[in-house]
Structure 1
Amino acid sequence: MSLTISRNAGFWSRFEERVAPFNLLQHPFYQAWSKGELTREDLREYAAEYWHHVSAFPTYLSSLHSRLPDGEMRREVLRNLAEEEGVDAAAARPHSDLWMDFAAGMGASRGEVEGRAVQPEMTALMTTFRELMQEEKASAAMAALYAYESKVPAIATTKAEGLAEHYGTEGAAARYFTLHQTADVAHASVWRELIDKQLANAPEDEEAVLAAGERAAKALWVALDGVERQRTSIN
């Protein structure tokens, strides 16, 4: 057991090294958010853009779920999917609707959000996640989910604090972020445990898992590049 723990500790250290260059809290757009430098128009544009990834997230999970054999992994993916879609009792509402509340709080209409022609970087993000869910190794697909959801709580906390401090936005418009300060802690823990179990049986898959996590983290960063490019071109 000690050898397994030691090997896994080394793996997760390498994982964090691979995703560290794409720490979203260091992205210029989120830095501007934290400092109160974004306008409400900037936030409205971001909300309308990023909703498409949030809305698509359940489809990533569904794609992975549909190809897994009966067992623990498939059921854990389904539990996550149920929460995202709001059919889990604890969630109450689909997370995409909670994000739509944020967009509405920034002044965007549902039609404006749903009909938005997203930036190429956002399209690439959604394509990347869809492709990663079809990775031959299920552990690689889960690494992409872990790379995303393990970072969400800290990001959500920073966003909620920024909305309250700089934009006077709390309540329903900030509910997506206050929920995700805790919701994805459990999700990330599940992905990590499942990845550990998979790698214990197939340590030769480590590089594929590391590469998938890095690819997901980079795609998330680049999607924000598109948001920031639009913001700076407007301003």
Structure 2
Amino acid sequence: MATTQITPAAFVESLREEVTRHPAVTHPFLQRFAQGGLAAWQLWGYASQHYRLVCFFTAYLEALSKRTPDPEIRRLVQEILEEEYMRPQQFERSHPALYRRFMRAVGFQEAEWDQVPELPATRAFVVMHLDMTWRSWLETLGAVGPGHEWAIPCMFPPLVLGIERSVTLDPSALEYFRLHIDLDVKHGQMLEQCLIRWAGSEANREEIRRGAVRSLEARAAFWGALAEQLFLFSNTGR
């Protein structure tokens, strides 16, 4: 995507289109998962790795809030954090807590999710994002905005479909997923305002896009690792 001679609004629109076409969003893992018929071990394998990503997302937002020089971005990110933590509601309504509800529903015992070893791609995803928060707040904005909040409403419906086609659960067990399909649309729109505020220069646009692409590439590698472990096909989908 060219980053020269482009308005901030046009850059954001082009970046959004790039996100929707990215292999992380259209990954063969998601297509296979959506078919359902998943055994318990496959659901557990998926959930135990995805949970690690869920637990760290607020750390990226907290870092962005602290490092941005823009008070308006800080305000918007703090608003998103309040919804991620589900305050002023109970701790049991935080997003990691909602994910643990799903994990219990598919058979995990309390705290078993902390005993499952991380796949290298899972650890790499988290480490890359944490490192990014120290290096560039604009890259971090690209990662949590386009890389997460824009992409998740596209990636989660296949996950929900696959779970529903594999096991009968109380609807409350899937609240984490359904909440993000809707809530991340709102968060994505909020972060879009932040992007437009800072996409006036080519250098800033390059940083924002680099953060988005790095996040999506790490997500594609994560899906690829799960595909190898759960469905025995490679990162290329062969």
- The answer to whether the superposition gives a TM-score over 0.5 is yes
Instruction: State the match for 1:22 in structure 2.
Output: 23
Once the two structures are TM-superposed, the CA of residue 71 in structure 1 deviates from its matched residue by 1.2
What is the TM-score with the length of structure 1 in the denominator?
A: 0.85
Distance 1:46 1:171 in 2: 19
Instruction: State the match for 2:216 in structure 1.
Output: 217
Once the two structures are TM-superposed, the CA of residue 164 in structure 1 deviates from its matched residue by 2.8
Instruction: State the match for 1:175 in structure 2.
Output: 175
Once the two structures are TM-superposed, the CA of residue 69 in structure 1 deviates from its matched residue by 3.6
Instruction: State the match for 2:71 in structure 1.
Output: 71
**Is structure 2 residue 136 aligned with structure 1 residue 98?**
no
Deviation string 1:26-55 (CA, Å, 9 cap, x unpaired) is 322211221114223211111111111101
How many residue pairs get aligned? The number is 226
Q: 1:223 to 1:167 in 2, by over 3 A?
A: same
Distance 2:206 2:90 in 1: 36
Structure 1 segments unaligned to the other structure (5+ residues): 1-5
**Is structure 2 residue 152 aligned with structure 1 residue 159?**
no
Distance 1:57 1:67 in 2: 16
Percent identity of equivalent pairs: 23
**Is structure 2 residue 110 aligned with structure 1 residue 110?**
yes
Instruction: State the match for 1:206 in structure 2.
Output: 205
Give the aligned CA root-mean-square deviation in angstroms.
Answer: 2.4
Distance 1:9 1:79 in 2: 23
Contact 2:76 2:190 in 1 (8 A): yes
What SS class does the counterpart of residue 45 from structure 1 fall into? Answer: helix
Contact 1:157 1:181 in 2 (8 A): yes
**Is structure 2 residue 229 aligned with structure 1 residue 230?**
yes
Distance 2:160 2:231 in 1: 23
Contact 1:43 1:106 in 2 (8 A): yes
Once the two structures are TM-superposed, the CA of residue 149 in structure 1 deviates from its matched residue by 1.1
Deviates more, 1:180-189 or 1:202-211: 202-211
Deviates more, 1:209-218 or 1:28-37: 28-37
Q: 1:124 to 1:171 in 2, by over 3 A?
A: same
Once the two structures are TM-superposed, the CA of residue 59 in structure 1 deviates from its matched residue by 1.3
Deviates more, 1:44-53 or 1:90-99: 90-99
Instruction: State the match for 1:48 in structure 2.
Output: 48
Instruction: State the match for 2:187 in structure 1.
Output: 187
Structure 2 segments unaligned to the other structure (5+ residues): 1-5, 234-238
Contact 1:144 1:212 in 2 (8 A): yes
Instruction: State the match for 2:236 in structure 1.
Output: none
Deviates more, 1:51-60 or 1:36-45: 36-45
Q: 1:134 to 1:190 in 2, by over 3 A?
A: farther
Deviation >6 Å, runs of 4+? none
Return the structure number with greater helix share.
1
Q: 1:21 to 1:157 in 2, by over 3 A?
A: closer
Distance 1:66 1:207 in 2: 22
Q: 1:188 to 1:204 in 2, by over 3 A?
A: same
Instruction: State the match for 1:3 in structure 2.
Output: none
AA of the residue aligned to 1:152: I
Deviation string 1:139-193 (CA, Å, 9 cap, x unpaired) is 3211111121112123233332333344223412211111112111111111111
What SS class does the counterpart of residue 108 from structure 1 fall into? Answer: coil
Distance 2:67 2:124 in 1: 23
What is the TM-score with the length of structure 2 in the denominator?
A: 0.84
